[in-house]
Amino acid sequence: MTKSAELIHTALDSFLIELPSWGFADTGTRFGKFLQDSAATTLAEKFADAGQVHALTGVCPSVALHVLWDLPAGTDLKEVQNLSSQFGVRPGSINPNVFQDQEYKHGSLSNERAEVREKALQHILESVQWAKELGSRDLAPWFADGSNYPGTANIRRRKQWLADGLRKVHQALDSGQRLLIEYKPFEPAFYHTDVADWGMALLLARAAGPQARVLVDTGHHYQAQNIEQIVAWLLSEDMLGGFHFNDRRYADDDLTLGSIDPYQIFRIFAEIRHYEWETGGRADIAYMVDQSHNLKNKIEAMIQTVMTAQQLYAKAALIDHQALEKARNQQRLIDAENCLKDAFETDVRPVLGEWSESRKLAADPLRAFRESGYTERTARERAGRKKGAVSSYA
């Protein structure tokens, strides 16, 4: 085995990525919901589909669950654990839902009405308890709180309400759990969003407590924003908790990873790998997918995303960090830049195929899935049930 292949094999051995349950369900845009006959309609079907991705790629052992979509009131958590045993994937991060109910029209933990803030808090605390019972480490709430018109919200007071609520959530965590705080610059609020950027999320995480970190969704940024710089700063502050991976052409388009700008994801991985090279340790980062596949086949798009993530992570493993640091210190700009470009332009797919085969996995997971007939079989089984399915985003 060549040195490059060895570097890639070692990197891939420790690279895991979590799948989102909602990525396997019928979803859509604000204009409508689009149906696929083979899309999942139940939690069991979501686990089954996620199990297919993990069986073929070997790197997706957990499924992020969204409360209300996946764990409505009255859910028997033993049944969820049984699904884990049946399909070979375990519950991952727990995502509370504090944006869907009508009471959250003007916000959740930032709402002016105390009773709404309390409802949101109790829901998140219940989610913490469910995470404990399911053995889930990370709680990942996203807040749609904000306002659409100047003067309609007391921004400073809403900040304080949000910080107070997050402190209470943090107090409910077990010692091994984490609170991951996500940010988004706009939508559904378009004048101000209560957690609009990484700096706000960082301050809220620090206010919440030592087990809180920042969650970076790669789609939640303005055009041309330097996401890898944000990653570098959060790494420097030991506050990077995880990613929601997707790609975007404009903003939060939920496109498959690397479909628009693969070099950006590579640059993010490059920052992480260089940080680990400098510190001699491994960054404690949860890599998670957050995508809504409206047009592509759900499972095929997820496999494509996982394969892309593996390829870009493998490329980042080829960076010569010693040469990079030397070129930087000597201010040899072209040589320093080429340390990244040479790694990025390397075709790692043959080595990735060898790595998969060495672990008795499909060398080409996408082809293997298509040849399995799983889509056609589930389409026949599920299409008839969709007509009576309860309407939900995911």
CATH of the domain at 272: 3.20.20.150
143 falls within a domain: yes
Q: What is the pLDDT of residue 168?
A: 98
**Domain annotation covers residue 366:** no
For β-strands 286-289 and 240-245, DSSP reports them as: parallel
Please check whether residue 100 is in contact with residue 72, taking contact to mean a CB–CB distance below 8 angstroms. no
Helices (H), 209-291: 227-236, 262-279
**In the predicted structure, residue 391 carries a pLDDT above the cut 70:** no
Mean pLDDT to the nearest integer, 68-84: 94
Give pTM, 2 decimals. Answer: 0.96
Note whether residue 329 is domain-resident. no
156 inside domain: yes
Percent of the chain with pLDDT over 90: 92
User: What confidence tier does 389 reach under pLDDT thresholds 50, 70, 90?
Assistant: low
What's the token pair of residue 329?
């210190």
Taking only the tens place, the pLDDT of each residue in 172-183 is: 999 999 999 999
Q: How confident is the model at residue 34 (pLDDT cuts 50, 70, 90)?
A: confident
| Mean pLDDT, residues 212-227 | 96
Interior/surface letters 296-315, b for 16+ CB within 10 angstroms, e for the rest? bbbbbbbbbbbbbbbbbbbb
Residue with tokens 């596949």: 293
Q: Is 198 inside any structural domain?
A: yes
Q: For residue 339, is it within any domain?
A: no
Give the domain range for residue 46: 15-316
- At 57, is the pLDDT very low, low, confident or very high (cuts 50, 70, 90)? very high
In the chain, helix, strand, coil percent, each to 5?
Answer: 50, 10, 40
Pairing mode, strands 212-217 and 240-245: parallel
Q: Is 353 inside a domain boundary?
A: no
What proportion of the chain, given as a percentage, has pLDDT over 70?
98
Question: pLDDT value at position 385?
Answer: 75
pLDDT at 387: 60
How many domains in the chain?
1
Within-domain flag for 78 = yes
Q: Give pLDDT, residue 113.
A: 98
pLDDT at 386 over 80: no
